[in-house]
Structure formats: structure tokens, C-alpha cells
Amino acid sequence: MVRVPIFSGITTDSSADFRTEYPVNLVPVPMGQGISNGYLRPADGIKTLSTGTGLNRGGINWNGVLYRVLGDDLVFITDTGDVVTVGTIGGTNRVTMTNSFTHLAITSNDQLWLYDGSVLRQVTDVDLGAAKDVIFIDGYFMTTDGEFLVVTELNDPFSVDPLKYGSSEISPDPIVALLKLRNEVYAMNRNTIEVFRNTGSAGFPFQRISGAQIEKGTIGNKACTVFMEQITFVGSGINEAPAVYIAAKGGQTQKISTREIDDILAEYSEEELSRIIMSTRVDRSHQHLHITLPGSFTLVFDAAASQVLQFPVWFKLSSGLNKIEPYRATDLIWAYDRWNVCDTATNKIGCLSAEESEHWGEPVRWEFTTQFLYNEARGAIVHELELIALTGRTTVGKDPRISTEYTLDGLNWSQPKTILAGKAGQRDKRLRWVGMGKMQNFRGQRFRGTSDAFITVSALEARLEPLRF
């Protein structure tokens, strides 16, 4: 028997190049369990809790309570999923939310709103200007209009001193977003990043840190975040194509996107990429960076797995059944001992669940592609394929199926061959395909199933008969 790698697959394209394929709705886990050095487990499903007052535009955990902007409304959501309206924000675009000790701050349609737990008020000081983003640092709410950095007064967050303006001007590119890390302000410009620290000086109290500038910037307001205590973003420098970077020490960056991820990003225009939404999920053994593409699937970078395997580990999340469709979960927020999400297509409010694979009560598809089988160009007959997997975890009454198809050139695929995946409690079900044809130079396999087939795959074994010349 030949053991076939399953963490990522190989295909080809019309330009006669080899390409990497990432699992869909399956999470690569690099852990030895006596069978292999790693396995693919089902990605968490999405459980419905309630229905909101509109589409989600952003959220935050403030003092242990989950707040979101749904449609026009600022709301808080209880641990049971009940939605309580706080006030009206207005607007249609994504919002930014942050908090001080006493106030929750929200930017919407270039306006800044503050909520003190009882009253929601807009900051109407004319010296504020357009508030495109907001952070809280050292007692100040800091905003930006794309050109200047503005801070509110220490003792009055509704007031702005016109003398307390700063700028990010080493490079003439606009300020796209603001991030805070280790009590420093990162002005995320389009092609550069500048770092500021509170020096307590008269006027604008924050000064640029010399030598901390990064010669790359973010492509969108939500295309950047703090991940694993580092600044992470989708963007580029001048005359560079967009990629995914982590800002390292000393103004350096580390690229974590692969050629395949870069090619996916290249399929979108600059305007489309500016609508990317980044979320993070770090708990227990999970260290995931979610990159939700506009109107499309979500790319996930696994930092822990990448560190173990010493190469970038990615997978995809999708809510489609017949093809790879948009992932219908956004804004992962930890509250009430769970990861809370909202539906990107409807008003549904829910949470991630490891006990199911359906999304909002609807089945989804998973798939993975293998590395190529190769027999020193002598060819072989493929008598049998077997997935070594945990079966029998499906819902009672369902009879799930799994299919496989093969390619001999990495581009064209055979007709799928389907087998039963085992009913509920059928823990000893063997997932075997027999009489799987032959190969000449190389051969790749693709496996597909739905969330009904709730299985974890630890290995793929192939029984081959080499051909003799």
C-alpha cells in the first residue's frame, strides 16, 4: 500500500504549470495519532441562535456583552441570542467599533458615535472632521479622515482641539485604517505603515517612531488586524501586487501568502479587495486568520500548523453545496464562551459549533485533493483506494455518500465514483474504492462529500500494481 499526502493537493493549469489546491471546509491538523502525522477534520458548522434587525455591519465585546450594528441599529445580544436595540446609527457601510473604560465608540458614514451604556450620542464637534476609523489609546479616542490623525480631549471625548492634529506624511499615500498594538498606533496607509507613540508633547501628543516605518500598506479598512500580537494585512508596497503580510520587528514584513493565495487575490480589482474583511480566531489550539473575500469564499491561514510544518498552511471555508460559494459567517467575536457570528446573506445571528457541519441549518460541501501518485514513469494499475477515517458520526436517519474522481494530467477529471460513508453509529465502516483504473506518469485524486458525511480523514492508502516494460 502507498500512503498519499492529503494536507494539500496538486493540479495543473492551462499554462502547463503545477498548482496547489487547498482543502475546502476541512481543517488540516498536524498531529500524530499513530496512523499519520496529521489529519483533516470537519470545519466548525454554524448554529442559528436568533434573527437580528438587519444585516451585520460590525461588532465588539464590551465589558463581556456582545454589541453589534445591525442595519441602522446599535444593539446588544444576550447569551441566549436575544437582540436589544440601543439606538439608531444610520449608514450602510461597515463600521469600526472600539471602547474606552466608559464609552463604546462607533464610526459610521464618517461620523463618530459614543455610547456610555445608557445614552447614544454623535460627536458633533466641527473640528473632528470625517471619522473613517477609530481606536482608543492612553485616554484618547483617535480618528482619521484619511489625511490627518485626530484625538478627542482627555476629559471630554465629545470635544476636539483643532491644535491636536497629526499626520502620516513620510509617504503621500492616504491613511486607510488605524490599529493599536503594544500601546503604539499603527497608521495603516495604502503603501506604507507608520508607527506613533504617546510622548506627551504639547499639541498633538503622539510622535512618529523613527525607523519603525514599514514599506508596505493595507488595501482596505478591514483588510488589516492584530493577529498573534502582530500587525497582519492584505496589501502591498509601491509597484507590488497585493499579498498577505505579517509585520515583523524593525520595520520588516513576512509574507505568509503562497503563490496560490496571491493568484486568488489577483482575480479581484483594487476596489473589490478594499472590501476584504479580516477576522481572527485564537483559542485553544486554534490560531486562525480569516480573510473573507468580497462576495466569495473565506481563506484561512493556520499559524500553529504553519509553525509545526514549516510552510504556510491554508484552507478554504465555503457555504455552498454544489460549488465553492461565499462563506456565510462574518465578524467572529468571542463572547459568552463561544464564537459569535452573523450571516452575510440574511439577518440570522449564530455561533460556530464543533458538533455540527451544517451552515445555518443547510448542508455544505467539503472536498480535498491529494498530491500526485507517481511510479517512476512506469505506470501502474490502481486496484484500490481507501480513506482511513472516523465514521459513524452522522445524524440518525441520514445515509451520506462520498465520491472520488481522478486526473491523469492535473487538468481534466474523470467521472466521480460514489460510495456510502456509513450511517450513524457505523464506526467500523471502511471507505474503499476498488477497480480504480490505471495511470501512466502521474495521477491525482479528489474527494468530495457533504456535511452529512461528518468524517475526519487521517490517511489515504492506495494499492498499486506496477506495470512492467
Residue-wise pLDDT tens digits, 198-207:
998 888 999 9
| Percent of the chain's residues with pLDDT above 70 | 99
What pLDDT is attached to residue 284? 78
Q: Which of 99, 126, 101 is nearest to 114 (CA)?
A: 99
Convert the pLDDT of each residue in 271-292 to its tens digit: 999 999 999 999 878 899 999 9
Average the pLDDT over 412-419 and give the result: 95
Average the pLDDT over 17-45 and give the result: 92
What pLDDT is attached to residue 207? 93
301 HSE (CA, 13 A, CB side): 26
Convert the pLDDT of each residue in 241-267 to its tens digit: 999 999 976 778 999 999 999 999 999
Q: What are the C-alpha distances in Å from 309 to residues 45, 305, 371, 373? A: 26, 6, 16, 21
Count other Cβ atoms within 10 Å, centred on residue 207.
13
Q: Which residue has the cell 441599529?
A: 73
Q: Which of 94, 314, 98, 341 is nearest to 220 (CA)?
A: 94
Is 84's pLDDT higher than 70? yes
What pLDDT is attached to residue 65? 97
CA-to-CA distance for 41 and 389, rounded, in angstroms? 10
Q: What is the DSSP letter of 328?
A: -
450 membership: H or E segment, kind and range: strand 442-450
Cβ-contact 230, 213 below 8 angstroms: no
Is 128's pLDDT higher than 90? yes
Cβ-contact 228, 282 below 8 angstroms: yes
How much is the pTM?
0.94
Average the pLDDT over 191-210 and give the result: 91
Q: What are the C-alpha distances in Å from 439 to residues 2, 204, 216, 436, 445? A: 14, 70, 46, 10, 12
Q: Which of 10-19, 104-113, 131-140, 285-294 has the lowest mean pLDDT?
A: 10-19
Cβ-contact 452, 396 below 8 angstroms: no
What pLDDT is attached to residue 406? 94
Domains within the chain, CATH numbers bracketed = 2-41+366-466 (2.60.120.260)
Cβ-contact 144, 123 below 8 angstroms: no
What average pLDDT is seen over the chain?
93
Average the pLDDT over 317-341 and give the result: 93
Helices in 206-354 by DSSP H: which ranges? 259-266, 270-273, 303-309
Is 469's pLDDT higher than 70? no
Q: What is the DSSP letter of 307?
A: H
Is 213's pLDDT higher than 70? yes
Confidence class for position 307, pLDDT limits 50, 70, 90: very high
Convert the pLDDT of each residue in 130-166 to its tens digit: 999 999 999 999 999 999 999 999 989 999 999 888 8
Confidence class for position 438, pLDDT limits 50, 70, 90: confident
CA-to-CA distance for 302 and 287, rounded, in angstroms? 6
Query: Where does 63-132 show beta strands of DSSP type E?
Result: 65-70, 73-77, 83-88, 96-99, 104-108, 111-115, 120-122
Confidence class for position 15, pLDDT limits 50, 70, 90: confident
